[in-house]
């Protein structure tokens, strides 16, 4: 089968590779769409150390069931599906208590980190365990369904955030995950959502997707502006979707006394924390990682239009076009939000 192979850092090649073998509990899927994630771009240049060549990357995907292992009886060929990006073991302490996203033995599709290599979905086919596969309604296009993985990050973050109906939420960072997060936190009960970014185009999309207020973080005093919109108190919750010291400061200083900040962004391994502000105002800080079983919820929210992804897809490309697009995205293209690879497209 054809696949997009990272042969060495900054070098992608469309080539023939062996079709995946289907184990007894597995599902073989014809990949119809797979999104290029920011982590794939970082993997492309080797900066994360988690995509060691040779590797087929790609973990945001959807497609059609081709075949199943002998133990899988509920997914006939032709079923439209998507699947989680993470393969949990199902047996460790965290899996057994219902925290599969914290699995001790988790393996992420399209990742090679020395401990394991698990080829991903920038290919015509992929094989994954039945337990991470979810069926799709006919009304959800494959290119939208490929974004369920990204939506699940936002929905999980909203699920663990202490939000109450009528709250004001600040979303710091209006990139791909930030734009999904602002929709998810509104669906979770926030009646006023304030989006913060440095890019006017992204803030325009944030407005289109339901942000009540948009703020340029480099042009205004964001915490002061947030207080203006909240009767002088500050927001009830903030969700930080960048992962750097300045934006985390912005999130912390934007919430009221007793407020909470959910940390989603993960760019910096360490940051400087305004400790006294957190302690003296009793701010709750909460980390969030991936998703934990929210795929059905995400599919339903997307299918009913509560979370929209169409405005975020800026290009749909074939496997053959992908190497040039990786170069382009790695060089930096602020006009591109989500590029979706369609492996069956020729």
Based on C-alpha coordinates, what's the Rg of the chain? 20
Domains 2-147+309-341 and 153-287 share a fold: no
pLDDT in tens, 118-134: 999 999 999 999 999 99
Closest alpha carbon to 89 in 110, 99, 104: 104
Architecture of domain 153-287: 3-Layer(aba) Sandwich (3.40)
Tokens 């900054």 locate to: 10
- C-alpha atoms less than 13 angstroms from C-alpha of 117 in its C-beta half-sphere: 9
Q: Name residues whose C-beta falls within 8 Å of residue 144's C-beta, 6 or more positions apart in sequence.
A: 302, 309, 310, 313
Q: Which residue stretches of the chain have pLDDT < 70? A: none
Query: How confident is the model at residue 258, as a pLDDT?
Result: 98
pLDDT in tens, 21-33: 999 999 999 999 9
Query: How confident is the model at residue 288, as a pLDDT?
Result: 97
Query: How confident is the model at residue 312, as a pLDDT?
Result: 96
Residue pair 126/119 in contact (Cβ under 8 Å)? The answer is yes
The percent of residues above 70 in pLDDT, for the chain, comes to 100
Q: Name residues whose C-beta falls within 8 Å of residue 321's C-beta, 6 or more positions apart in sequence.
A: none
Residue pair 65/28 in contact (Cβ under 8 Å)? The answer is yes
Q: Name residues whose C-beta falls within 8 Å of residue 190's C-beta, 6 or more positions apart in sequence.
A: 163, 167, 168, 169, 236, 237
Query: How confident is the model at residue 324, as a pLDDT?
Result: 97
Query: How confident is the model at residue 114, as a pLDDT?
Result: 84
The CATH number of domain 2-147+309-341, selected from 3.40.960.10, 3.90.180.10, 3.40.50.150, 3.30.300.30: 3.90.180.10
Domain ranges of the chain: 2-147+309-341, 153-287
Residue pair 149/173 in contact (Cβ under 8 Å)? The answer is no
């Amino acid at each position: 089968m054809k696949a997009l192979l990272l042969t060495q850092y900054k070098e992608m090649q469309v080539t023939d590779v062996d079709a995946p073998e289907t184990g007894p509990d597995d599902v073989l899927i014809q990949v119809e769409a797979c999104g290029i994630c920011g982590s794939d771009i970082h993997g492309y240049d080797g900066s994360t150390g988690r995509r060691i060549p040779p590797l087929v990357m790609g973990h945001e995907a959807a497609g059609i069931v081709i075949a199943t292992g002998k133990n899988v009886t509920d997914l006939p060929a032709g079923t439209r599906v998507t699947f989680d990006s993470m393969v949990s073991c199902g047996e460790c302490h965290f899996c057994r208590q219902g925290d599969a996203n914290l699995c001790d033995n988790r393996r992420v599709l399209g990742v090679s980190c020395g401990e394991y290599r698990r080829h991903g979905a920038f290919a015509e086919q992929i094989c994954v365990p039945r337990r991470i596969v979810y069926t799709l309604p006919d009304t959800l296009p494959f290119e939208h369904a490929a974004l369920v993985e990204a939506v699940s990050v936002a929905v999980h973050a909203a699920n663990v955030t202490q939000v109450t109906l009528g709250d004001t939420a600040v979303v710091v960072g209006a990139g791909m995950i930030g734009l999904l997060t602002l929709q998810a936190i509104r669906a979770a009960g926030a009646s006023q959502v304030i989006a913060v970014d440095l890019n006017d185009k992204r803030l325009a999309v944030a407005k289109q997707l339901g942000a009540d207020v948009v703020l340029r973080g480099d042009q205004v005093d964001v915490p002061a502006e947030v207080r203006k919109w909240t009767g002088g108190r500050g927001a009830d919750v903030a969700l930080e979707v960048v992962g750097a010291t300045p934006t985390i400061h912005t999130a912390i200083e934007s919430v009221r006394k007793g407020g909470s900040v959910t940390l989603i962004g993960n760019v910096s391994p360490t940051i400087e924390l305004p400790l006294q502000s957190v302690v003296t105002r009793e701010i709750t800080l909460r980390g969030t990682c991936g998703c934990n079983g929210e795929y059905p919820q995400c599919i339903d929210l997307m299918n009913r239009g509560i979370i929209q992804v169409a405005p975020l897809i800026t290009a749909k490309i074939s496997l053959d076009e992908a190497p040039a697009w990786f170069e382009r995205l790695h060089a930096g293209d602020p006009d591109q939000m989500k590029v979706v690879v369609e492996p069956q497209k020729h």
